Amino acid sequence: MKDYFSDEELALLVENGRRSAAEPDFDPVPVARLFVPDGAASWLLTEIDPSDLDLAYGLCDAGIGLPEEGYVSLTALARPTGVIGAAAERDLRWRAPPGFTLSTFARLAAAAGRIIV
């Protein structure tokens, strides 16, 4: 699996996964944005399954106008795909605006038909 996260980010993503399992109303702030450089696909990740560190959760946008919350395999994102054969990359400059939780991004994305970053 490609290394997308620092140790601190990975710890936060796993902790968010624990909290999400224990607290049904938990609405975390996305920790990271991944994207495919030769397409419109994008992911805002909030958590990783503590029992399967390959399984991340967040707002997923395949670039077809139907963004939705769901799980994605980090291994699958690291595989070359698209026109130029590029794997998903981490947007190192992206940070969630203060107060923007996953549900905030999901509402904006549903209205726009794509993730708004």
Q: What is the pLDDT of residue 83?
A: 73
Give the chain's domain count. Answer: 1
The residues that bridge with 78 in the sheet, in sequence order, are: none
Q: Residue 48 falls within a domain, yes or no? A: yes
Q: What is the pLDDT of residue 67?
A: 96
- Identify the DSSP state of 59: E
Consecutive 10-residue averages of pLDDT for the chain (117 residues): 87 98 97 92 97 97 94 94 84 95 97 93
Q: What is the pLDDT of residue 97?
A: 96
State how beta strands 89-90 and 42-48 pair.
unpaired
Q: What is the pLDDT of residue 2?
A: 65
Q: What is the pLDDT of residue 47?
A: 98
As a whole number of angstroms, the distance between CA 14 and CA 58 comes to: 13
Q: In what order do the strands lie in the sheet with 55-61?
A: 68-73, 55-61, 42-48, 32-35, 89-90
Long-range contacts (CB closer than 8 Å, 24 or more residues apart) made by 69-73: 69/102, 69/106, 72/43, 72/45
Q: Residue 1 falls within a domain, yes or no? A: no
Q: Residue 2 falls within a domain, yes or no? A: no
Structural domain range at position 12 = 7-112
Q: Residue 73 falls within a domain, yes or no? A: yes
